[in-house]
Amino acid sequence: MQTTLYKKMLSALTIIAAVLPFSSSAETYTPAQFGDAVSQLTAKVNLPDTFEGGFTTIAVYCQTDVATSGMISNTLCYQDNEIANLRQQTLDALDSVSFVPAKVDNQAVPVRLQFRVVYSRTGDQPDILMLPNLGTLQAQHGYNYVAPQERLDQQDWFSGYSQNTWAQGKPFFNKGRLTRVIGTVKTNGDVASVSTLDARGKGKRDAAVIETTLKQTRFIPGLVNNQLTEMHYIAVLNYAK
């Protein structure tokens, strides 16, 4: 089953590498891509011969801002476990990596990109794969999809939220309590059907603000099999100290 899984992932990478601009209404879109990031991670990350606990694959979930130059910043990563400390190794390895910037109408735009780095010790698969999604929609879209990417040339949802003096939530995943708000990114990059998934205590106030700011955020739309596709996006706050 794992061999089939990684064959699908490799197929996804082949498709992603061939991405061309996609058109919706009056705009064309090209999502940000990884460039030669895999080779740079391969050179910098020290993988053990085997993972402890019987694991053959470990996923690290990341978010980063990709500038119009391709330089990345504000990178955050999350790992479900502490095996081989791959979260920190991934962060360190990405510190000087450049991606390929996103474009709208053939003009580079800054975006916030969410992606997975999958480390493997199966013996017959690549040691490192990068996928432009967190895997939350793979049951619906398979592995061959590019998740929506927030445009940072306009106000993004977290910037709108963090302008409040009482805002304490931090972006992206971490252990502990989360606030999550879901919206549908349409093929023109607009957001519709926004609602709260999880919110407790003061998180309910946070969720109400995020519902408003998420509606105002624009995206590079998601892609499935080289087709622009309406796709869910989940805005996440964590409250880790």
pLDDT tens per residue across span 71-117: 999 999 999 999 999 999 999 999 989 999 999 999 999 999 999 99
Judged against a pLDDT cut of 80, whether residue 11 lies above it is answered with no
Judged against a pLDDT cut of 60, whether residue 197 lies above it is answered with yes
Judged against a pLDDT cut of 90, whether residue 5 lies above it is answered with no
The answer to whether the CB of 191 falls within 8 A of the CB of 215 is yes
The answer to whether the CB of 228 falls within 8 A of the CB of 24 is yes
Chain-wide mean pLDDT for the chain?
91
Enumerate residues 6+ apart whose C-beta is below 8 A from 50.
121
Judged against a pLDDT cut of 70, whether residue 7 lies above it is answered with no
Look at residue 144 in the predicted model and tell me its pLDDT.
75
The answer to whether the CB of 66 falls within 8 A of the CB of 110 is yes
Give the rounded percent of residues in the chain with a pLDDT score beyond 70: 89
Burial class (CB in 10 A: 0-12, 13-18, 19+), 136: middle
* Of 41 and 124, more confident: 41
Give the rounded percent of residues in the chain with a pLDDT score beyond 90: 85
Q: pLDDT per residue over 114-148, tens digit each?
A: 999 999 999 888 999 999 999 999 999 998 799 99
Look at residue 123 in the predicted model and tell me its pLDDT.
84
CA-wise closest residue to 141 among 150, 131, 149: 131
Look at residue 6 in the predicted model and tell me its pLDDT.
44
Q: What is the DSSP code (8-state) at residue 101?
A: P
Q: pLDDT per residue over 173-192, tens digit each?
A: 999 999 999 999 999 999 99
Binned at pLDDT 50, 70 and 90, residue 18 comes out as: very low
The answer to whether the CB of 40 falls within 8 A of the CB of 97 is yes
Q: How far apart are CA 26 and CA 232, in angstroms?
A: 22
Tokens 């879209």 sit on residue: 141
Report yes or no on whether pTM surpasses 0.85: yes
Q: How far apart are CA 193 and CA 235, in angstroms?
A: 13
